[in-house]
Amino acid sequence: MIHNPNNIRTAGKPLEASSKVMIMVHGRGGSARDILSLAEYIDDKDFAFIAPEAQGNTWYPHSFLRPLEENEPYLSSALEVLASLRARLQSDFNFKLPQIYWLGFSQGACLTLEFVARNATEYGGVFGLSGGLIGPPNLVRSYEGSLTNTPIFLGCSDIDPHIPKERVLESETVFRQMGANVTAKLYPNFPHSINEDELNVVNLLVAGAQ
């Protein structure tokens, strides 16, 4: 285990007192504190927010487009952090899976989307901002499970230097085949960052999923 599963920060309502929780996963070079600052843009004030922090601020060392093994054992460790976080929310705070929401940015979005695909079930919502499923091009994806009733939003620039738009569209197709209600938006000429429209969509999906 490389990433410390204890290294987490929280914001919003206390976990004990909230009916919904959003797991926020930061990008390469980011931190739990950074990503939690997005909490103030979520209109629904009933959320608890929880963010794990990567060892050295990086979930895995190489591009998410490289062969999976090149990012091991970091990638497995990062996925285990999300698994243990989810398990903790279920066992210690009694959240049901549809009360759990996921939001990731950049590397954190890739990690979150990959985790959700590998652990498909009904979640409250999944928001992958500037990210896509992990692995080399033409990887055969055989995820098990169903994402029926899970709203998923994929937002990315169409010229993102890190995230090819093809991967965003491929992820959209995979999630749709797994039964999710997918909204994907490619923003023309946007930088690698989170924009206002993306936050609006997240808020709409959160509100619609109530």
Partner 1 sequence: METLINGLHHVTTLAGDTQRNVDYYTDILGLRLVKKTVNFDAPDVYHLYYGNETGSPGTILTFFPYGGIPRGRKGVGQLTYTAFSAPTSSLRFWMDRLHERNIPYAGPYKRFSETYVRFEDFDGMGIELVFNDDDQRPGWDNGRIPAEFAVRGFHTVTLNEINPDKTVKLLTEVMQHTLVGEEEGRFRFKAGNGGPGNFVDVLHSPKDVHALQGAGSVHHVAFSTDTDETQLIIQHQLAEAGYHVTPVQDRNYFNSIYFREPGGILFEVATNPPGFAVDEPVAELGTALKLPPQYEPRRAKIEAELPEIVVK
Question: Judged by CB under 8 A, does residue 87 bind partner 1?
Answer: yes
Question: Judged by CB under 8 A, does residue 1 bind partner 1?
Answer: yes
Q: Which stretch, 2-10, 96-104, 148-156, 179-187, contacts partner 1 (CB under 8 A)?
A: 2-10
Q: Which stretch, 65-73, 94-102, 109-117, 163-171, contacts partner 1 (CB under 8 A)?
A: 65-73
CA–CA distance, 60 with 79 (Å, rounded to integer): 10
Question: Judged by CB under 8 A, does residue 204 bind partner 1?
Answer: no
Question: Judged by CB under 8 A, does residue 31 bind partner 1?
Answer: no
Let me know: does 59 contact 3? Beta carbons within 8 Å. Answer: yes
Query: How many Cα atoms within 13 Å fall on the side-chain side of residue 136?
Result: 8
CA–CA distance, 194 with 129 (Å, rounded to integer): 7
Q: Which stretch, 27-35, 79-87, 161-169, 199-207, contacts partner 1 (CB under 8 A)?
A: 79-87
Closest by alpha carbon to 198, among 156, 160, 152?
Answer: 156
CA–CA distance, 129 with 15 (Å, rounded to integer): 24
Q: In this complex, which beta carbon is closest to partner 1, that of residue 55 or of residue 149?
A: 55
Q: In this complex, which beta carbon is closest to partner 1, that of residue 40 or of residue 72?
A: 72
Instruction: Count the neighbouring beta carbons within 10 Å of the beta carbon of residue 208.
Output: 10
Let me know: does 32 contact 7? Beta carbons within 8 Å. Answer: yes
Question: Judged by CB under 8 A, does residue 68 bind partner 1?
Answer: yes
Question: Judged by CB under 8 A, does residue 169 bind partner 1?
Answer: no
Binding residues (CB under 8 A) for partner 1: these are 1-6, 55-56, 67-70, 72-74, 76-77, 80, 83-84, 87-88, 91-92
